[in-house]
Amino acid sequence: MPSRSDIHYFGAGPAPLPTAVLERASQALLNYNDKGIGLCEISHRSPEANQILTDAKVSLTNLLDIPDDYEILFLQAGGSGEFSAVVYHMVSVWVEKRRKRAEQETKSEGGSEQDLEAKVLERLRKEVKEELRLDYLVSGSWSLKASQEAARLIGPEHINVAFDARKANEGKFGRIPPESEWKLTPRKPGAALTYFCDNETVDGVEFPSFPQCLEADSEEDAPLVIADMSSNFISRKVDVKKYAAIFGGAQKNVGNAGVTIVIVRKSLLPPTSPLAASPLLRSLNLPVGPIVLDWPTIAKNNSLYNTLPIFDVWIAGQVMSGLMETYGDKRISGQQEVSDQKAKLLYGALDKDSQVYHVVPDKSVRSRMNICFRVHGGDSEKEKEFLAGAEKRGLTGLKGHRSVGGMRASNYNAVSLEGVEKLVRYLEDYAQGS
């Protein structure tokens, strides 16, 4: 039976966790802080649970240098749940902005309060029909699913796919078209949100940097950018100020499956939840989301509106504090250096033996986290042979996503440099023997 040190796992998620964190977790599960009960057994409203939340927030804030005007939320439902949450929330924010403007401008026309309400509602219905747009950059399977969920919730007529990368790549994902070709909603009147997936886990595509066309000189002029960072979270430096919100499931780089992290600008969290405006939303034929996905409600309750899996938050906090201890003043830049080094080794080996290996995405958008490639042009028997040989060396989890096939080496934070070097040697040996 192999030991943990004998196996190097490259699966796309749930992903490896640092062994030291798992060793501490095994003790915490049995007896947390010498309380005589395990971490999964303590109340989510206990002082210990609140301290775990506070510590995790502090570690994430320090790692990513998150400004004071952003809130960190821990909730459930994964990244897929946030596909819906961002729509519920940002559409509510858009409607409220329009309602306030309509109310202010309509007051000058005079009339009774009842007449005023009727005029505001009529104007809002017209604006929703003609101007409500949500921009989606479809660069891979996950952003496609997000755009489809948005269309399901509010209707496809309100969804603007600024680009579908398949149209620039013979019907397959693997490229991002030039920004000059993106068809974004003009900033005036502006989209309710501009959404992209920073790293596409299935297709091995990662945005090299924040899109230049989404930059702005001021927050007032900036589009409300929402980014799904589930599979490259805390792997590189991020300028949080450029985003209205960032979210990610924890089970790639941060922790185990069960908790989702949202970083959201506080100005988008009204004192009263948008759910309080549910009658208005219904009258506009817009959806009202479940309260467990409502960001203002979660923020108001310190992420403890319902029973939060505190063990999962503790794991995430341990991983993030571990990175702070490892990299010190470098913070996330230290982890980025290591991630880049590992990715460079893997792509270097694949490119060197290009007669055997074909990297799927275009070189300009290759993911540092999910290295997708084919063996001998995708020959099924050769790829089975490749996987079998890898497993004999303790290199597991290399099979690609079922929707695209091929190989995928996921280079998450807990994948060691030693493991990557071992995979590189196997890539070289397999190519020499082919």
Q: Residue 371 is part of a domain; what is its CATH number?
A: 3.90.1150.10
Cis peptide before 309 (omega within 30 of 0): no
User: Do 72 and 164 share a domain, yes or no?
Assistant: yes
User: Do 296 and 336 share a domain, yes or no?
Assistant: no
- Alpha carbon dihedral 193, 197, 203, 208, in 10-degree steps, equals 120
User: Do 275 and 345 share a domain, yes or no?
Assistant: no
Q: How far apart are CA 400 and CA 407, in angstroms?
A: 4
Residue 216 lies in a domain: yes
Question: 226 — phi, psi (to 5°)?
Answer: -115, 130
User: Do 170 and 265 share a domain, yes or no?
Assistant: yes
The secondary structure element, H or E, covering residue 296 is helix 295-300
Query: Which of 279, 312, 345 represents a domain boundary (last residue)?
Result: 312
The Cα diameter of the chain in Å comes to: 85
Size of the chain in residues: 434
User: Do 303 and 369 share a domain, yes or no?
Assistant: no
Query: Which of 312, 347, 375 represents a domain boundary (last residue)?
Result: 312
Residue 32 lies in a domain: no
Q: How far apart are CA 175 and CA 165, in angstroms?
A: 6
The partner residues of 208 in beta bridges, in order of sequence, read none
How many Å is the Cα radius of gyration of the chain?
A: 23
pLDDT higher than threshold 80 for residue 284: yes
Residue 362 lies in a domain: yes
User: Do 252 and 299 share a domain, yes or no?
Assistant: yes
pLDDT digits (tens, 9 = 90+) for 143-195: 999 999 999 999 999 999 999 999 989 999 999 999 999 999 998 889 999 99
Residue 109 lies in a domain: yes
Q: How far apart are CA 269 and CA 267, in angstroms?
A: 5
User: Do 375 and 408 share a domain, yes or no?
Assistant: yes
User: Do 268 and 174 share a domain, yes or no?
Assistant: yes
Q: What is the pairing mode between strands 193-197 and 8-9?
A: unpaired
Query: Which pLDDT score, from 0 to 100, does residue 270 have?
Result: 78
User: Do 85 and 216 share a domain, yes or no?
Assistant: yes
User: Do 344 and 426 share a domain, yes or no?
Assistant: yes
Give the structural domain span for 408: 331-433
Query: Which pLDDT score, from 0 to 100, does residue 133 have?
Result: 98
Percent with pLDDT over 70 in the chain:
98
Cβ contacts of 108-111, under 8 Å, gap ≥ 24: none
Q: How far apart are CA 291 and CA 297, in angstroms?
A: 7
Per-residue confidence band for 271, with pLDDT thresholds at 50, 70 and 90: low
pLDDT higher than threshold 70 for residue 416: yes
Residue 384 structure tokens: 């089975």
Query: Which pLDDT score, from 0 to 100, does residue 310 have?
Result: 96
Half-sphere exposure of 415 (CA within 13 A, CB side): 35
Residue 23 lies in a domain: no
- CATH number of the domain enclosing 194: 3.40.640.10
Residue 418 lies in a domain: yes
Q: What is the pairing mode between strands 199-200 and 205-206?
A: antiparallel
> Is-above-0.75 flag for pTM?
yes
Query: Which pLDDT score, from 0 to 100, does residue 434 have?
Result: 79
Strand ranges (E), 141-253 = 159-164, 193-197, 199-200, 205-206, 225-228, 245-249
- Cβ-contact 74, 239 below 8 angstroms: no
**399 or 220, which is more confident?**
399
Query: Which pLDDT score, from 0 to 100, does residue 273 have?
Result: 54
pLDDT digits (tens, 9 = 90+) for 385-402: 999 999 999 999 999 999
Query: Which of 312, 339, 368 represents a domain boundary (last residue)?
Result: 312
- Cβ-contact 67, 243 below 8 angstroms: no
- Cβ-contact 373, 406 below 8 angstroms: yes
Residue 277 lies in a domain: yes
Residue 24 lies in a domain: no
- Region 265-280: mean pLDDT is 76
How many domains, in total, are found in the chain?
2
Three-class SS string for 312-341? HHHHHHHHHHHHHHHHHHHCHHHHHHHHHH
Query: Which residues contact residue 152 at a Cβ distance below 8 angstroms, ignoring those fewer than 6 apart?
Result: none
Amino acid present at 50: N
Query: Which residues contact residue 398 at a Cβ distance below 8 angstroms, ignoring those fewer than 6 apart?
Result: 10, 386, 387, 390, 407, 408, 409
User: Do 339 and 301 share a domain, yes or no?
Assistant: no
User: Do 308 and 347 share a domain, yes or no?
Assistant: no
Q: How far apart are CA 88 and CA 300, in angstroms?
A: 17
Query: Which residues contact residue 23 at a Cβ distance below 8 angstroms, ignoring those fewer than 6 apart?
Result: none
- The 8-class DSSP code of residue 366 comes to B
Query: Which residues contact residue 117 at a Cβ distance below 8 angstroms, ignoring those fewer than 6 apart?
Result: none
Per-residue confidence band for 83, with pLDDT thresholds at 50, 70 and 90: very high
